[in-house]
Structure 1
């Protein structure tokens, strides 16, 4: 059974600005409570190297690989799958422009495979807290940048 974390938030800022927040990975440490560092080109197949806050005081280094990237709209990445399909993941960020200069941001995470229940049992709470924190922080960051520009 898959372990899924889906979060959606409407942001009072244009989609271009929300996209800028999400893809300016060099600045994640300034605002992102979950992913403290991030390096990537967003090119499909290339790595995305992150330092994430999961459990304990020391952040964990994580390397995943970009799956898709549609500029201005979405990007996704996944871990290198564990052999025999025992564990795989997918993380995606999607931005949709709404009326009135607003944006819908959808954060999706999914673990699947035979080891998914074990991993979600050990890290599910931390992952949920982390992804919720990042989703809320994207909103806060984009709306703050919008207010400075207005």
Structure 2
């Protein structure tokens, strides 16, 4: 059984600007309230070092593997706790051009394994709130970039 969290926001900025923000890993602490640290190579198959802070919680660190990287379209990583049958989370950032000129930022995660069955709805709501806070921070940063 899987649990999905899917969020989105429309950003009125060029896709290249949004993408530059998303792949500028060292600057995440400047603007990102959810992913407070991320480092590593944005190369498929390589591990990243990530710390996330859910609302009202301390940062949690993990080392996911980058599983997809398509410039100006998406990047995804998957992290596990123990073996994937116990817990896996596939985190996705996607940029989709809209007909009105905006770029839709889709931010999601699919949780699979045994442990997600026992994580309460309150925990999933905190994750959703964290995603939403990052979405709004990305929108603000992209739409206020000096051209």
State the TM-score, normalized to the length of structure 1. 0.87
Give the direction of change, closer, same or farther, for the CA distance of 1:102–1:55 in structure 2 (3 Å limit): closer
Q: More helix per residue: 1 or 2?
A: 1
Aligned residues: 147
Q: Please give the alpha-carbon distance, in whole angstroms, between the structure 2 residues aligned to 1:55 and 1:15.
A: 28
Pairwise CA RMSD = 2.0
Map of 1:75 onto structure 2: 75
TM-superposed deviation, 1:103: 1.0
Cα 1:59/1:73, change in 2 over 3 Å: same
The alignment status of 1:63 with 2:63, answered yes or no, reads: yes
In 2, the alpha carbon distance for the partners of 1:19 and 1:49 equals: 20
Residue of structure 1 in register with 2:123 after alignment: 123
* CA pair 127-84 structure 1, distance change in 2 beyond 3 A: closer
SS at match of 1:85: coil
| Cα distance change of structure 1 residues 81 and 45 upon mapping to structure 2, 3 Å threshold | farther
Deviates more, 1:29-38 or 1:116-125: 116-125
Which residues of structure 1 form unaligned runs of 5+?
A: none
3-state secondary structure, aligned to 2:90: strand
Write the deviation string for residues 97-144 of structure 1: whole angstroms up to 9, x where unpaired: 334642111111110122212235473232111111111111111101
Q: Is the 8 A contact 1:52 1:59 kept in 2?
A: yes
Match of 1:35 in 2: 35
The CA distance in 2 between the partners of 1:118 and 1:142, in whole Å, is: 37
**Long gaps (5+) in structure 2:** none
* Residues in 2 aligned to 1:136 and 1:108: alpha-carbon distance in whole angstroms: 14
- The alpha-carbon deviation at position 69 of structure 1 amounts to 0.5
Whole-Å separation in 1 of the counterparts to 2:113 and 2:51:
24
Indicate if the aligned counterparts of 2:9 and 2:105 stay in contact, CA closer than 8 A. yes
Any conservation in 1 of the 2:7–2:128 contact (CA below 8 Å)? no
TM-score between the two structures when normalised by the length of structure 2: 0.88
